Chains A and B, each alone.
Chain A
């Protein structure tokens, strides 16, 4: 299962790197971290194009859920901006 191991390792490395970078830049909003994770997840999953079709279906499902979370964050941001104006 080396392709699965590689996939998990790449994701773990991407998450750790983005957390370190955002923390180094003094980011203190949780939604910024979550957005970075969602983008990284979608990009890495897209790059591993040769995953087994069954695995891909499951990961695509998780991608929809995460993207839903991202959309909710964007909606809250829009509402916040509208309330201010």
Chain B
């Protein structure tokens, strides 16, 4: 089989290759279990026995961390994300859509939070009321021009990883975004959220996700901006538009406008 058509390895093999936690865990666990009796009975040293005990504990924790690693390896996940976005990008570029997407909360879409891409914008932000359809092409207003594409976004999908309800205060939005970007995805180190007059500024530090230049990023934003917009839309229970997105070294600043 040529390398081009080689299928990804099954998750277990991939995980074994990628994760060093299992090796470290086993090493510490076995080393600690063997060293503890030797230190206690032969060397008669309590501090060294305690050190061996701490190695057993750290080894167990490392093995637990290995078990909780994601089933899809990060590279495979990035590949899937990029191919999905590239397809959507091609579709949007061909249809000539240039309007910014409006991120909608689940209360407006009857299900998963999604983004609405207006097919004609006239330079104005669309006013979106309830959307009762789950189709790709939907009507979102009373005018004949009020037609758009209702699409799933990386941010909308990410919300399913949050267990609890998202609040609307800056601290609650910051907590939800930190849980996703720092905890679940591990693609950033810090998140700061500020709200002022319907404008939400999200500053994400220590970014470790590189994104290429795609047409879809002009409309939906980069994956980080998409997550920020989806969380803010869900927290504020209102449509949100990405006003601007700037990257300086490893800090991304996303400005979001709450449209209601």
Using CB atoms and an 8 Å cutoff, list the residues of chain A in contact with chain B: 1-4, 7-8, 11-12, 15-16, 19, 22-23, 27-30, 33-34, 37, 41, 50-55, 58-59, 62, 66
User: CB-nearest residue of chain B relative to A1?
Assistant: B186
Complex contact A50–B178 (CB within 8 A): yes
Complex contact A52–B54 (CB within 8 A): no
Asked if A62 meets B64 with Cβ closer than 8 Å, knowing A15-B57, A33-B53, the reply is: yes
Asked if A62 meets B49 with Cβ closer than 8 Å, knowing A3-B186, A50-B179, A51-B183, the reply is: no
Interfacial chain A residues near B46, Cβ < 8 Å? 27-30, 33
Contact with A along B40-51 (1 / 0, CB 8 A): 100000110111
Asked if A22 meets B61 with Cβ closer than 8 Å, knowing A50-B183, A58-B68, the reply is: no
Is B69 among interface residues, defined by CB-CB distance under 8 A?
yes
Complex contact A55–B50 (CB within 8 A): no
Interfacial chain A residues near B19, Cβ < 8 Å? 1
Interfacial chain B residues near A33, Cβ < 8 Å? 46-47, 50, 53-54
Does more than half of chain A's interface fall in helix, strand or loop, or is it mixed?
Answer: helix
A33 to B95: give the CA distance in the assembly, Å.
67
Q: Return the contact of B65 from the options A4, A12, A16, A66 (Cβ within 8 A).
A: A4
Complex contact A59–B61 (CB within 8 A): yes
Using CB atoms and an 8 Å cutoff, list the residues of chain B in contact with chain A: 19, 21, 24, 40, 46-47, 49-51, 53-54, 57-58, 60-62, 64-65, 67-69, 161, 163, 178-179, 182-184, 186, 189, 208
Complex contact B68–A19 (CB within 8 A): no
Q: What are 23 A-B contacts with C-beta separation under 8 Å?
A: A1-B186, A3-B182, A3-B183, A3-B186, A4-B65, A4-B186, A11-B58, A19-B51, A23-B47, A30-B53, A33-B46, A33-B53, A34-B53, A37-B50, A37-B53, A41-B57, A41-B61, A50-B178, A50-B182, A52-B184, A53-B184, A58-B64, A62-B60
A22 to B60: give the CA distance in the assembly, Å.
23
Complex contact A19–B65 (CB within 8 A): no
User: CB-nearest residue of chain A relative to B191?
Assistant: A50
